[in-house]
Structure 1
């Protein structure tokens, strides 16, 4: 399960950088915001300056046009003293329009009006009247006059015949225009500074939040752990598959690929696919739904029998996915075989101990009752039964492993009150080894175990199992018939599927699926038929020459 990673302050996976991730993020985001602030503010300041200067120029030109078109101004040029009329005419206009100056001059550039009356009669300063006086253009210019640098609107004055007789110059000092621009820019600067402050605060918050999501780890720590995790996943001998909460594969290591799929298939093609479609009956869906772990389950993955452990992955108290680890059973089959033999020996010893204790009590009772002859007959009878049973197994099965298995199952059946009868024509003339012996032992053991389960609920005297086996021909044939309830048509269609059980219990439905799988690997088959004893009849056929014969 996922648990919150708590960084150890004393732990140092890699040498620490000069700046932590949090500091770098704050610095870089703040630097980005400041850069954007400088560029954007410079652009807005330039835009505002150009806009205001353009508006002032247009305003000056508009006022100049109005003055140039006034009939009083035109008529005044015909007088002996035009300045006396023109100065009085433009003075109120200048005051109303807030213009710094309105200067009217003749064709030679001599002033007829000026904010400073003392400068009337002097030549206009700035040298920017040529276009108006010679070409008759109306335009905006920026030049330094007697009052300082100003933005001017220049318009020629024409008489009734259209001849140029003078020029009107309306100006606003650049110093005043810059003051207006500064006032307009002040609010812009305050707003942008506020945005920068908020941006830096946001950068600090983002840095702290991301650092928290990364469990306070530095990038080098994360890289190191990622490489470490990848090395562990790909070097382990166990297959590993991880799925998300929807059952989609998010990780699969090389060992899992080798167990499940062909060598030419790429791991990347499995990512994002449903585990149920790719590998049915894994049980991971149950783990995701229930949130319960599963340990040491024997399953069939691909073409292999594997031992599986499956655990849910929790995140913030909810199931966020699941991880399945598994290993081929063949890699630990020598241990499994030894454990199976010990288990069979234990079951046989337990059954024999139980039967021996019953026999001892019977003999003790007969002796206490003075029935000496009856006690002796009882002992001889038991001895004859044991010898006969051992003789039957020795005569019918050449393989000592098969003999041991059958002896254990017969003893187990005796304890349950079940009679296992071996058909007199049964014969195994050869001893088998390797995978073929494994298939034979697994198949016989599971079929007898199923038969015991099927008949143990019957009334006493009706618990019967018939066993037949032979290898006289080209195949090893084993037939197990029981007197149980049999298998319905509906159940028969699913009886060999992994996880399916007629008992409806959890962690069942494995034995027959494993038997079919291991028998198929040897080129054989297992068949369900209608039994002669009223129950089910399973027939297992294993070719002697198929798979790993290992016959001796």
Structure 2
């Protein structure tokens, strides 16, 4: 059973089908040739036998013999000579009663002559007729009297017949090269069928129909059963495949398959990632794209076969929900980082105090502790006086300790003034501040800076009746001019801007600002980069008043 199934391959089935088509075409050609041959025979031979019959019917010997009822021997020489000279199959003469009185076939003498429809009414007629078991094309012409005694009187009938050729005779007579033509056509048809079968075999990669159907079923199950989006493009940037998740994430129409990215209105960063226009050689990592409020992580793979570029396949993952969870966890992470940094700082201070005690410098211990206390009180008072929102103040405290570990000074601008915010707005402001400070610290602490240059980050928070403006400056190298406009849509961090890596910190910052009806921008200053974010927020008093309104 298995061996029988393997013999019936797709290429074999197509070869048999093509051969069957060739045979049908050859039979049709042969049928047309037979029809044309029959039509030609009836036309040409019909005229010839009619002319012979008319000539014989007008012969005075025939008229005289039929008028006087002469015996068969009187007309036999004329009938036989007519057959011999013309080469027809039969010549027959019948009297007015329809009895055969002379014929090239002696066995039919005395029999009645079968008359055609026209000849039975005294008119000439030609057509096929079966005589003694053989099919002939005959012409029957009446013999009319020509003397004064019998002028116009029907004296008898003359019939001249030509045997119809067989099928083989018609084929051979149709054209002397017909068989050669049929043979050449058969050879070309067989060769073409074999070549077509081989081509189909190559194009289907040797797969049989059942295997192709199985692959199609598996592909459908895989594409529509996974939680990731999949988009396939051909070399002309036309969509050849997309699953439901991909349609939803990219907001594409249902009938997008077959359309180009330009027709679908896909441009900018998303188009560059899908087409690989700005792909870094050797880079196979994920790309971050912001698409209509979603943070999408995309991975593009080029598809090649035998050195031919067939297109690309891109997978998409929606990280918007994960970004939201990261933002909600930001305050907890900041607190833990603050505790870790403070524990590290306290451990260093305790080691210093322990060393001073061991060497007997008790007075120095007192002065050291007083200096630490004044520094802590100064920082706490500065933050508490200028930043009244506890979530944002705690975040800045944590970032100050973390920046100190990396030898970066975190400054709070003297122009900073922030009141308490509604809890939801405070969390979003803290997210923006945290992301911008992290990027600024990375830039300020970047290697390769001069050793005598102080690394610093300055934060300035300004607030009016309905919005908050966040300005973060750093002493880093700044943002490259070619990235300044697209840095937020690309999802770069300041460190990534220098090293070519990707992140989502600034992408999240942009999403938060846009959700609050604000914006974010970056400019370069003589000292480094300056990020400016604006957000619409509610004061805590306003939020409480709204909550108390019945």
TM-score > 0.5 by shorter chain: yes
The answer to whether the Cα contact below 8 Å between 2:331 and 2:395 also exists between their aligned partners in 1 is no
Q: How does 1:169-208 map to 2 (within 5 A)?
A: 169-174=159-164, 180-181=169-170, 183-184=172-173, 206=196
Q: Structure 2 CA distance, aligned partners of 1:127 and 1:204?
A: 56
Query: 1:478: which partner in 2?
Result: 470
Higher mean C-alpha deviation, range 266-275 or range 492-501: 492-501
Q: Structure 1 CA distance, aligned partners of 2:171 and 2:308?
A: 59
Query: 1:4: which partner in 2?
Result: none
Query: 1:467: which partner in 2?
Result: 459
Query: 1:320: which partner in 2?
Result: 310
Is the aligned partner of 1:426 residue 2:416? yes
In structure 2, relative to structure 1, the CA distance for the partners of 1:476 and 1:34 (3 Å cut) is: same
Q: How does 1:312-351 map to 2 (within 5 A)?
A: 312-333=302-323
Q: How does 1:378-397 map to 2 (within 5 A)?
A: 385=375, 388-389=378-379, 392-393=382-383, 396-397=386-387
Q: How does 1:511-522 map to 2 (within 5 A)?
A: 512-522=506-516
Residue 198 of structure 1 deviates from its aligned partner by 6.6
Q: Structure 2 CA distance, aligned partners of 1:348 and 1:297?
A: 34
The answer to whether the Cα contact below 8 Å between 2:38 and 2:170 also exists between their aligned partners in 1 is yes
Aligned partner of residue 278 in structure 1, secondary structure: coil
Computed over aligned residues only, the root mean square deviation of the Cα atoms, in angstroms, reads: 5.7
Counterpart among 123, 126, 131 of residue 136 in structure 1: 123
Query: 1:306: which partner in 2?
Result: 296
TM-score normalised per structure 1: 0.69
Q: Structure 2 CA distance, aligned partners of 1:403 and 1:36?
A: 90
Q: Structure 2 CA distance, aligned partners of 1:104 and 1:245?
A: 85
CA deviations 1:14-63 (Å, max 9, x no partner) are: xx899665665566666666566666655654554455355433332232
Query: 1:449: which partner in 2?
Result: 439
The answer to whether the Cα contact below 8 Å between 2:488 and 2:507 also exists between their aligned partners in 1 is yes
Higher mean C-alpha deviation, range 215-224 or range 317-326: 215-224
Higher mean C-alpha deviation, range 331-340 or range 417-426: 331-340
CA deviations 1:387-406 (Å, max 9, x no partner) are: 64466456655667645654
TM-score normalised per structure 2: 0.69
Q: Structure 1 CA distance, aligned partners of 2:337 and 2:38?
A: 100
In structure 2, relative to structure 1, the CA distance for the partners of 1:17 and 1:316 (3 Å cut) is: closer
In structure 2, relative to structure 1, the CA distance for the partners of 1:259 and 1:98 (3 Å cut) is: same
In structure 2, relative to structure 1, the CA distance for the partners of 1:373 and 1:323 (3 Å cut) is: farther
Query: 1:150: which partner in 2?
Result: 136
The answer to whether the Cα contact below 8 Å between 1:399 and 1:432 also exists between their aligned partners in 2 is no
Counterpart among 103, 121, 132 of residue 92 in structure 2: 103
Query: 2:243: which partner in 1?
Result: 253
Q: Structure 2 CA distance, aligned partners of 1:352 and 1:245?
A: 57
Residue 128 of structure 1 deviates from its aligned partner by 1.7
In structure 2, relative to structure 1, the CA distance for the partners of 1:536 and 1:94 (3 Å cut) is: same
Unaligned 5+ segments in structure 1 are: 1-8, 10-15
The answer to whether the Cα contact below 8 Å between 2:67 and 2:155 also exists between their aligned partners in 1 is no
Q: How does 1:43-442 map to 2 (within 5 A)?
A: 44-45=33-34, 48-49=37-38, 51-53=40-42, 55-69=44-58, 87-89=76-78, 91-108=80-97, 114-115=103-104, 122-123=109-110, 125-128=112-115, 131-132=118-119, 134-144=121-131, 150-158=136-144, 160=146, 163=152, 164-174=154-164, 180-181=169-170, 183-184=172-173, 206=196, 209-210=199-200, 212-261=202-251, 267-269=254-256, 272-274=259-261, 277-278=265-266, 280-282=268-270, 283-286=273-276, 294-333=284-323, 385=375, 388-389=378-379, 392-393=382-383, 396-397=386-387, 402=392, 406=396, 410=400, 419-430=409-420, 437-438=427-428, 440-442=430-432
Residue 295 of structure 1 deviates from its aligned partner by 2.3
CA deviations 1:331-363 (Å, max 9, x no partner) are: 334885679987998899899989x99xx99x9
In structure 2, relative to structure 1, the CA distance for the partners of 1:74 and 1:277 (3 Å cut) is: same
In structure 2, relative to structure 1, the CA distance for the partners of 1:155 and 1:491 (3 Å cut) is: same
Aligned partner of residue 52 in structure 2, secondary structure: helix
In structure 2, relative to structure 1, the CA distance for the partners of 1:89 and 1:315 (3 Å cut) is: same
Higher mean C-alpha deviation, range 217-226 or range 165-174: 217-226
Q: Structure 1 CA distance, aligned partners of 2:433 and 2:407?
A: 23
CA deviations 1:239-259 (Å, max 9, x no partner) are: 332222222223333333443
Q: Structure 1 CA distance, aligned partners of 2:242 and 2:171?
A: 65
The answer to whether the Cα contact below 8 Å between 1:423 and 1:468 also exists between their aligned partners in 2 is yes
Aligned partner of residue 63 in structure 1, secondary structure: helix
Residue 479 of structure 1 deviates from its aligned partner by 1.9
Unaligned 5+ segments in structure 2 are: none
CA deviations 1:374-413 (Å, max 9, x no partner) are: 9997897677556644664566556676456545655676
In structure 2, relative to structure 1, the CA distance for the partners of 1:436 and 1:41 (3 Å cut) is: farther
In structure 2, relative to structure 1, the CA distance for the partners of 1:211 and 1:288 (3 Å cut) is: farther
The answer to whether the Cα contact below 8 Å between 2:440 and 2:474 also exists between their aligned partners in 1 is no
Q: Structure 1 CA distance, aligned partners of 2:306 and 2:326?
A: 39
